Structure 1
Amino acid sequence: MSTQLREAAGELAGVLWREHTVYRERSGGVVIRGEHVRRWISLAPAGGRDEILLRAGRILDGGTTAPARSEAVMPLSAGTAELAAACRRLLAETAADAVAMGAPAGSGKKAGAARRPAKTRRPKKPRRSGGRGRHTGIGSWIVLLCVGGVIAYHLWSIGVLR
């Protein structure tokens, strides 16, 4: 099954993107990364004997992958054209989700306020005026006191503090 997945992924990658990377996952599936479009597609064995699970997601800034935004089950015996059509549909859904979330399609950067309609803008979080900010917490003080106690005991035991 893994060799069939690898062969199908190689053919599919050539149809979908000019620039791509195909590699095997630890779970036995195959991933196709399109860095230039900032998207990925995963082919993994599904519950059925001749079925594969297609998943699509985004590639975030720094090269990490976001969780799959859409998925579908297809027969492995389906032709490359059918698999490519299903993958394009999943990629379109992923791009639509990215735009709806506020990131422009094809880029990992956040969209400016001008790209989002005024009525769907999220209100900014209010600043905590009376909050503690970045002060040392009680746990840190306990650790510091313990370290200071160990140092004082060491100095006392060698005769410096007698």
Structure 2
Amino acid sequence: MSRTIDYGNLMHRAMRGVIQNVLSDIQKAGQLPGTHHFFIAFDTQHPDVEIADWLSDRYPGEMTIVIQHWFADLEVTDDGFSITLNFGNAPEPLYIPYDAIKTFVDPSVEFGLRFETQPHADDDGDEAEAPMDEMVEPVEDAPRKPAEVVSLDKFRK
């Protein structure tokens, strides 16, 4: 038994459990309720992530997926989830372990989770990476700007 209670790791598991429960409900229903949609950023270099080579080449460190209108084959397990998403009219299967997730945001209800790591000393005194989790709280006092549609032609030369 360790000499301390690892609250960071306990929170890490609990917050990932929230994601698992939400995705399990979506899997059972076959669709997202109402206006809910998710932005999920994850570490593409995590050893258990499974994505197409062209996606890992294009996003060598982090990638954000959007689960909203079209998705297929959502399968939720205790360790992660698999899903097929559309990338430029090409369906691509993905597997994302919960440990690879960096952020999970549902902007329709201003809810988000961010997972970070920070160095800490382990039992031997050596530094190791420990999870540092926090909820992303909405900023109530921030003025809201209306959405702006930007044409990509604006950035082409």
TM class, shorter-length: under 0.3
Looking at secondary structure, tell me which structure has more helix per residue: 1
Higher relative contact order (CA 8 A, sep 6+): 2
TM-score by length of 2: 0.23
Looking at secondary structure, tell me which structure has more strand per residue: 2
TM-score by length of 1: 0.23
Q: Which has the larger radius of gyration?
A: 1
